[in-house]
Amino acid sequence: MVKLQLPNPGLEDRIPSLEELEVLEKEEADTRPKWDNKTQYMLTCVGFCVGLGNVWRFPYLCQSHGGGAFMIPFLILLVLEGIPLLHLEFAIGQRLRKGSVGVWSSIHPTLKGVGIAAMFVSLLVGLYYNTIIAWVMWYFFNSFQDPLPWSSCPLNANRTGYIEECAKSSPVDYFWYRETLNISTSIDDSGTIQWWLLLCLTCAWGVLYVCTIRGIETSGKAVYVTSTLPYIVLTIFLIRGLTLKGSTNGIVYLFTPNVTELANPVTWLDAGAQVFYSFSLAFGGLISFSSYNSVHNNCEKDALIISVINGFTSVYAATVVYSIIGFRATERYDDCFDKNILTLMNAFDLPEGNVTQDNFEQMQQLCNMTDPMTFASLKFETCDLESFLSDGAEGTGLAFIVFTEAITRMPVSPLWSILFFIMLFCLGLSSMFGNIEGVIVPLQDLKIITPKVPKELSNCFICLGSYLVAFIFVLESGNYWLALFDNFAGSIPLLIIAFFEMFSVVYIYGIDRFNKDIEFMVGHKPNIFWQATWRVISPLIMLVIFFFYFVVKVNEELLYSVWDPSYEEFPKTQKVQYPSWVYAIIVILAGVPSLVIPSFAIYKAIRNCCQKKNDRTGLMISTSETSVNGNLKYTA
């Protein structure tokens, strides 16, 4: 095993000893928040880790990378990357009893930048994440209509036909891009604020403020609903989905492995990134949550339980989603066949019911033999179930386009729509609890928010400030901005923060000291699995993911998808290059949190050198003189 440890003078003075921990816990009982019970803590961590990405990003990655084949690298990297880092964050937070900034500055003053970087990422991700919750609320409010407003196209001004944009695309596309986002054709064209989205954004931040008004004292109560309700709704959807025609087609498609994808490095890269993001690691929220635990809480057991729940939820949610997608694909396949059957019947004046899906090819051959000229003039659509199943969408597209279209085809569709968006709301809200915690606690550690400021007031300022900045997401170009934040704010910075977290604990805090801490807290030393992953395997995996991600992004042309009705291939989205000024935004989103860590370390080193130099200079030029009482005193 690697025994390297960097020198760390003064560490003993910065952290409480193991003997002082229990005394410190009793002293903080009245001043520091704590969990009402273990269930509340576990539900909060599950709610933070299990978010919208489990429902819409994981199924898309399975579909993109060989179905069941993607789950092999996902589960391998979950064990070798996700679980070790989760256990490390739980253990170090519980041991040092501080938020992310306090933990890393205690280990070494130059590491304070790690906590500040995590705070920046939590803030940036929270800005756009709560906007998605606002979109969910808009769809939820519109679900109390029968028929659903995205089930058919609106009529044009003359009421002689459908609006052209909707007729060329689809009702769900039109409702999403035009009725909801009222999207512009470029990120340069900001347009005006959409008042209906602004109202939903106000509701979203208002609900979040009420739920976190007194930190974990209030959010800890809310998780009993927000963390459990999604599982109930997923189960209801699975039961309903399995009763729908074609649902098994989707599930079989999801779990049918294409083993050739295992040789694709991008598959492993995406699996590693998905494990990383699905655990909500390096945001600082998990460190804060674990710091409110008892000193002797079994953090190792917690990490294992939450990891199993997280992995299970990803697979379970993907099964539910693809049962519905299988139904949607089968419905579209049947519609396509019905159009072809109708085309054949009208051309050859065939009686209704004579042509079915089963005998369609035979009837085509018969009609071709009867009248080749007429048959040759007919245009049939290509009906391929496989292509309908693979016609997936990532992220918001899966929730607001694919799933909503499937819901419109279900009986009592408003009820299923209400349930679906309640589930998404709970998933998003419980994740936001951790993001807010990852901002508030570091600000308290940095003394920007002093203990004298009431929690209600400090939370109000943070939520209000974030709400005002989030106005950018409710402009006509808001969806483009949100995609920009999603692609860069929570990608490279998280990898860098996580690497520094593990490196700092193992090689600066000291793995031997960490082992003794865990033995004191849980009753036994970490086994060989934890030793190997913390010291070598997990840091190496993160470096490889970072390297390949960086290489892919540097060589990749930065494009974004534009909804433009004048595009010649409409309703496909047009891929266009970002304007040059966006690169400055990307540097801010990805660069600032990443560069905070080395920048603060350099600043601290220069400051320490200057202080030492001043101290030496002061000693050299100081002179002594006799005081009134005869003692020596020094003056500079």
**485-543 residue pLDDT tens:** 988 887 788 889 999 999 999 999 999 999 999 999 999 999 999 999 999 999 999 99
pLDDT for the residue 320: 93
Phi-psi region of 256 (alpha: psi -120 to 50; beta: other; left: phi over 0): beta
Contact call for residues 90 and 303 (beta carbons, < 8 A) = yes
The encoded tokens of residue 173 equal: 């596309």
Give the tokens for residue 315: 């697979």
Q: Which alpha helices (DSSP H) does 409-559 contain, by range?
A: 413-445, 455-469, 478-488, 492-503, 511-522, 528-532, 538-555
DSSP 111: G
Q: What is the pLDDT of residue 260?
A: 87
- Tokens 């970072």, located at residue: 546
> Helices (H), strands (E): how many in the chain?
31, 4
Residue 330 in tokens: 């089968």
Low-confidence stretches of the chain (pLDDT < 50) are 1-2, 619-636
Backbone angles phi, psi at 600, to 5 degrees: -70, -35
Preceding omega of 493 cis (within 30 degrees of 0): no
pTM: 0.90
Q: What is the pLDDT, as a whole number, of residue 627?
A: 39
CA 255/CA 600 separation, integer angstroms: 47
199 and 205 Cβ atoms separated by less than 8 Å: no
Q: Give the Cα separation of 309 and 61 in Å (integer).
A: 19
Question: Nearest 5°: phi and psi at 193?
Answer: -70, 135
pLDDT (0 to 100) of residue 393: 61
User: Given CA atoms 209, 472, 116, 493 in this order, what sign does their dihedral have?
Assistant: positive
pLDDT of residue 421: 96
Distance CA 85, CA 282 (A): 9
Distance between CA atoms of residues 203 and 141, nearest Å: 12
For residue 633, give the 3-state DSSP assignment: strand
CA distance 627 to 380: 107
Distance CA 340, CA 207 (A): 50
